[in-house]
Chain A
């Protein structure tokens, strides 16, 4: 093993039986999941679901009541040079108000034993170079998020963890961040992003981990989770011969229900298959529309009744 290069497997985030009890409140409850490298993983849950607490336990900032969280088999504190392995963006406003952005990063470089020149590189990476010598108190929320990401990239880490990074970013900023994270994942890094903005996650994440009330609700590739929960994608079809089409589709193994407006809703078949079946049966079609399940619907469905204020 090369020095400073943790063994294989340490790029995988492993959370096992993780529990945190705050007084009477069980903020995180026997939570287990894994996050794979080379993909963007969305960590989803309503506010108060225990996302931030989980991330803080993963990073050694909060002590778990039970269970463990780490990188491969190692906990954060056991990593040799943690900043070279894991970068984290936890709070947008985490810099001294009177310190400039560049100095904030220089302090981190110093502490991490990275050449101070790295500060300018990461500033450039996040597009903050023009504001490098301005004090932090003059930064907008979006600039603060960018500075946070720059700080996380100081050690050029293999694993990147971001807590609600889209907060305070304008649409342009969100798009920028999405592209950056996808690029970093394409380089083989592990990216874990917590968010309650589902539409954003649908655009960005390859995998999702959904939690509510401190418990795991579902984990897997976005498409699988969507498919499994909405009973697969649905196809909306309108025809003057509904009886014939229903017979043909049922024979082809699809499920058909009639909608109140007279159209048919087909499950278990994609639009191409529905069109082909209709063509083969000589049925005339007036409308054929594939309806993708929406992560937001699935999410609300999954977390219904579990997102109460605790």
Chain B
């Protein structure tokens, strides 16, 4: 517990967290606008007359259901928010090596897995703060957006609240992935760049690869797309089961899998590594 409090104090006594917080705000605003725009465009298309295949038309019809439009909007900011939380998680670790404080940290607590556990908890708490802030902002702004789209606020629908809750889980899990990745890539710059690039380029790259595989090799490849961590976290927060996609819990399982693997691997490596 002392170690968790120390980790939180470490975060509070440097400027990184509020710099990231300030970066978060315009990104969140952008996400709301993007989701609004998307809902506006797809809402204007009639699935029956758009010349889409039956499957695509069905997907579009479900996506246009009020509850799904609402869950997307109420979880606005997830895509870039979890990226920032993951980076913060990584920085919590790489800071120790960048500023040569790992020595002091491990002198205070020579049982190193306790330090990593404390960092994981601190990172999760920080992730939840980011989730809470974006969620509060969404709850304030999104009813107006839904109104503009001719939907009601949808806050009576449990699916909306479930999506918001699962969104919290996504933020927490991405924080864990960040801490684990920070241990694996010790360089501050290396970790930040690798994670950002892998997250953004990797997401679109993987979508493209899976699209091509599905089109030209076999249909079942599309089922594997959930293995891409960002796809997994998006899947988790959909309002209803989406046709042509694995069920929501698969997204959660995939993301938990990534978190467990990186967290576990990171702890194992830190335990054995010489600190010099």
Residues of A within 8 A of B (CB): 52-53, 56, 59-63, 76-77, 79, 82-83, 86, 88, 90-91, 93-100, 103, 106-108, 110-113, 151
Partner among B99, B106, B111 whose Cβ is within 8 Å of the Cβ of A61: B106
Is the Cβ of A95 less than 8 Å from the Cβ of B9? no
Interface residue tally for chain B (C-beta within 8 Å): 27
- Contacting A at CB under 8 A, from B88-132, are 95, 99-101, 103-111
Is the Cβ of A83 less than 8 Å from the Cβ of B108? yes
Residues of B within 8 A of A82 (CB): 107-110
User: Which residue of chain A has the shortest Cβ distance to B274 in the bound complex?
Assistant: A62
Q: Cα distance A135–B71 when bound, in Å?
A: 44
Q: Given contacts A77-B111, A108-B108, is CB(A95)–CB(B101) below 8 Å?
A: yes
Is the Cβ of A63 less than 8 Å from the Cβ of B110? no
Partner among B2, B9, B15, B274 whose Cβ is within 8 Å of the Cβ of A63: B274
Residues of A within 8 A of B5 (CB): 110-111
Residues of B within 8 A of A (CB): 2-3, 5-6, 9-10, 13-16, 95, 99-101, 103-111, 272, 274-276
Number of residue pairs A-B, CB distance < 8 angstroms: 86
Is the Cβ of A99 less than 8 Å from the Cβ of B2? no
Is the Cβ of B106 less than 8 Å from the Cβ of A60? yes
Residues of A within 8 A of B106 (CB): 60-61
Task: Pick from B14, B105, B108 the residue with the most CB of A within 10 Å.
Answer: B108
Partner among A79, A86, A94, A110 whose Cβ is within 8 Å of the Cβ of B103: A94
Known: A61-B106, A83-B108, A96-B10. 9 other contacts (CB 8 A): A53-B276, A82-B107, A86-B107, A90-B107, A97-B99, A98-B14, A110-B9, A111-B109, A113-B2
Residues of B within 8 A of A98 (CB): 14-16
A-B contact pairs, 26 of them (CB 8 A): A59-B110, A60-B106, A61-B275, A62-B275, A63-B272, A63-B274, A77-B110, A79-B110, A82-B108, A86-B107, A90-B103, A93-B99, A93-B100, A94-B100, A94-B103, A96-B13, A96-B14, A98-B15, A98-B16, A108-B104, A110-B2, A111-B3, A111-B5, A111-B6, A112-B108, A151-B104
Residues of A within 8 A of B13 (CB): 96, 99-100, 103, 106-107
